[in-house]
Amino acid sequence: MDDFPINERLPDEVLARAASLPRKPAPVVLEGCTVLLRPMEPERDAPALHALTNGEPAQLGDRRIAAYDADALVWRYLGMGPYADAEALAAALAAWAAAPDVLCFCVVDRASGTPVGTASLMSNVPSHLKIELGNIWYSPLVQRTAVNTEAAYLMLKHVFELGYRRAEWKCNALNARSRRAALRLGFQFEGIQESHMIVKGRSRDTAWFRMLAHEWLEVRVRLEERLYGAL
């Protein structure tokens, strides 16, 4: 893992990585025990995603949810949503997945084969070997389960194996759930960037978190113990 003094010239191997990785992350399928992450196909995935995030009663296996406030539980702190129908969601996902520095995943519950959310590798700057895990949202049916932990674990494992030095996590500073999730996953809090963005007509302060390559080994052990125990 990379851990070099500030202002020291990096080894040629590290610089070669920075020159060779693509700006748009290459599509890949990431498989875990609870979830499967596959590149987003909006026409295929949007109907199921909309059905589980639109505020209507829903069921997944033995989990059920009554009617709920979709803005409060899914969309409030995101730059996208909510959507009136699956077609509108598909259009938004298509535009997002087409971004030049984004790989958008559909997060699939393996037990049922049902799409339950999305997560992205985004804001990719391979020339600096840094990338962000972001635009993450899930149906309330799988919130506070192992889904987000394993999805994040799979993405972190992937990017550090590719040779990235820094993984970032950013969220609205008011989004307490996302901030707690970042810390649980092993990200380090770096601070608040005030008046960082205007989102849905509102001023947003952004909380910044990061994980560095030399920290990943220890974080990986903790996440694997949490997810898989002695397996």
pLDDT tier for residue 231 given thresholds of 50, 70 and 90: low
Query: Is 67 a domain residue?
Result: yes
Phi, psi at 186, each rounded to 5°:
110, 5
The reply to whether 6 falls in a domain is no
Looking up tokens 């296996």 gives 61
Tell me whether residue 201 is in a domain: no
194 belongs to a structural domain: no
Residue 134 above 70 pLDDT? yes
Establish if 231 belongs to a structural domain.
Answer: no
Range of the domain at 30: 13-164
| 215 assigned to some structural domain | no
CATH number of the domain that residue 150 is part of: 3.40.630.30
Question: Residue 5: its pLDDT value, please?
Answer: 80
Residues 97-123: pLDDT tens digits?
999 999 999 999 999 999 999 999 999
Tell whether 186 is covered by a domain. Answer: no
- pLDDT confidence tier of residue 26, bands split at 50, 70 and 90: very high
Contacts of 21-27 with C-beta under 8 Å, sequence gap 24+, read 21/126, 21/129, 21/162, 21/163, 21/164, 22/126, 23/100, 23/101, 23/124, 23/125, 23/126, 24/99, 24/100, 24/101, 24/102, 24/103, 24/124, 25/102, 25/103, 25/121, 25/124, 25/131, 26/103, 27/103
How long a stretch of residues is the chain? 231
In a domain, 95, yes or no: yes
CB distance 177 to 200 below 8 Å: no
User: Whole-model pTM?
Assistant: 0.96
Q: Which helix (H) or strand (E) holds 160?
A: helix 146-162
User: For every residue of 12-41, which 3-state class applies, written as one string?
Assistant: HHHHHHHHHCCCCCCCCCEECCCEEEEECC
Cα–Cα nearest to 74, from 123, 149, 122, 135: 135
Task: Count how many domains the chain has.
Answer: 1
Instruction: Yes or no: say if 186 and 223 are a contact pair by the CB < 8 Å rule.
Output: yes
- The amino acid that residue 121 corresponds to is L
